[in-house]
Structure 1
Amino acid sequence: MIKALHIILLILLFACATNAQDKKSKGIELNKKEIEQYSYDTLLSQGYHLSYRVYLDTTIEEGLQSLTLVKGKRDIKQLSETSYPMLHKNLGYIGADFGDTFLFVQSFGSGNPHEIQLIDKKTGKELMNGVWVDVNQSEKVILYITNIYEENEELKLLDLKNKKEIVVKDFSDSKCVKEQIGGLRNCVVIDSVTSKEIILKTESEEERITKKYKR
């Protein structure tokens, strides 16, 4: 009789433990259903898109979320992964779509640099990385910074249409750049782009600097 009671007790304990684990796993699944909508547009041209996924890492017993570059039903490359829940802008979003490539951006808080990667859609390969300053999507021009906060920090113009990159040094003496906390990334913008030239300017009420660059 005592042995029978012990067996029944063990069965009940096992059942409770299994039920608790099932509830934990289902919690992630329920969350997955509740957050199908991503905070940013995930559609890209030429049949590509970013797939937002939420899942349970059974090894570390932690919920994770990721963005994966997909064409049709074929996964190309996972672009980022963070703990769930975290802000979607930390995980990433589409900054610009250039056809064969796109700009993938991650933001980690107000005032912090927005990290960018130029991604080849077909392979998911990173072609360039840096910090966001400005972009002209229609003319496929990116203004960005490399090696930010380092001695070799550089402001660069990447012209994808003409496969040309220019290192911009004309704004180093700008009063805005010297006084603004964000420096170059908060002062210089793309003013306009034509078939022959790119015009940059400072965005400051105290001074106006305009520079032209041949394409």
Structure 2
Amino acid sequence: MLKVDFDGTETYPKINEYVEALSSSTLEQAIQELEAITKQVRSAGKNDTFGLNNLLRIFGQTHLNLAQEFITQTIAKNLDLKYHLGFVLAGIRLSDREIARGYVRSWAAQDDSVLWVVIAQSYRFIDWSQPQLEEEWDVLRQLVTKQSSLVDLTLFLPIQHLAPHKPDLAVELLKPLERRSSNHDGGKA
């Protein structure tokens, strides 16, 4: 079993070894192990660890088909890992942007604030200097209109990364977030 230090000091070689060893025959065990780690992290009062999230991002990037099955099982079983799927999605996007976009389209249309946060979480890894990101810009607009305080908080980092490349869009996105924040509205978590 992979051990995760709560201060995020896992080493890349161990993470890479773990990810490289994943296969369809070990996926169920990996899900159980990663779910146990996620529960430990949450019971320790932490929201994430660098090592766990990095492992999930690498997994998504290097095991595209397994990562899709991982997502399916995590959502179907409503595991705590669901809160970390943004990192898997970010990895998937590095391998196949269209597969990632498919998840984003589906999740943005659902009434599930955790999946909205997952999308926003994954968007912090986008290279906003790339061409043809109109769909991602539209999703950011959609997420802002969700009026979810959890989504709003998660959007700040992707918008910060977007700002040097699309400053007008960044301002457009930040205005409603700022209004909600200053009104202490809280939105729909």
TM-score by length of 2: 0.28
Q: Which has the larger radius of gyration?
A: 1
Greater RCO (CA < 8 Å, at least 6 residues apart): 2
TM-score by length of 1: 0.26
Structure richer in helix, relative to its length = 2
